[in-house]
Chains A and B, each alone.
Chain A
């Protein structure tokens, strides 16, 4: 069965370190998204990609970067982790049409000390 996975599921890191969160989908979807979920803010978009070599900033992209070298993967990198980036991170993917559902990965809980 097609799926979307994230790793690691839990991560503790220190301020200033570089962290990469992996996202892998086997749906063969063109669109992939990274969201963060925080109490009081719901889910907010960090970055998104329409396809290979395409990346775009979302509403809370500062301090994050992504790259898309193949259809299946969209890793999210925190260039220099900050305590404000402690959050739950969700990766999602979908086909391009507006009626297509976005399927979410299980999430990664990141704690920045």
Chain B
């Protein structure tokens, strides 16, 4: 069975500092994708970053980077230079080709609070 685990229910970070949100996953698929989504208090789900299982380089999108360690089955999100607007719920998700038509399996989420 596929599973995503986010072990940090809540995190605090000082504005302008970097923060790492943890995500570990379990799958028997060889080909899969890992995603991070942001959900602010307004409720929408915003795609942040994607990492493919065969990608050799860690994905980066602006201030977001994904620290992908395949052997350890981890896909941590790093946010550099935190901003107040980064305060939100963050979800790690996985999608495998054999997983019910490519549905996303989500973790429980980490609530990030950025302090001024």
Contacts and interface: CB of A to CB of B under 8 A. Distances in A.
A88 interface: yes
A7 B15 CA distance: 36
Contacts of A109: 43
Contacts, number: 62
A104 B45 contact: yes
A90 B33 CA distance: 20
Interface centre among B44, B97, B103, B106 (most CB of A within 10 A): B103
Interface in B73-116: 91, 95-97, 100-104, 106-109
Interface in A33-59: 33, 35, 40, 42-43, 45, 48, 50, 56, 58
Interface string A53-88: 000101000000000000000000000000000001
B64 interface: no
A31 B102 contact: yes
Given A42-B106, A106-B43, A99 B52 contact: yes
A107 B43 contact: yes
A28 interface: no
Question: Chain A, interface size: which category?
Answer: 20 to 34
A20 interface: no
Contact of B103 (A48, A100, A101, A107): A48
Given A42-B107, A48-B101, A106-B44, 6 more contacts: A31-B101, A40-B108, A92-B45, A98-B95, A101-B35, A104-B44
Interface of A: 31, 33, 35, 40, 42-43, 45, 48, 50, 56, 58, 88, 90, 92, 94, 96, 98-104, 106-107, 109
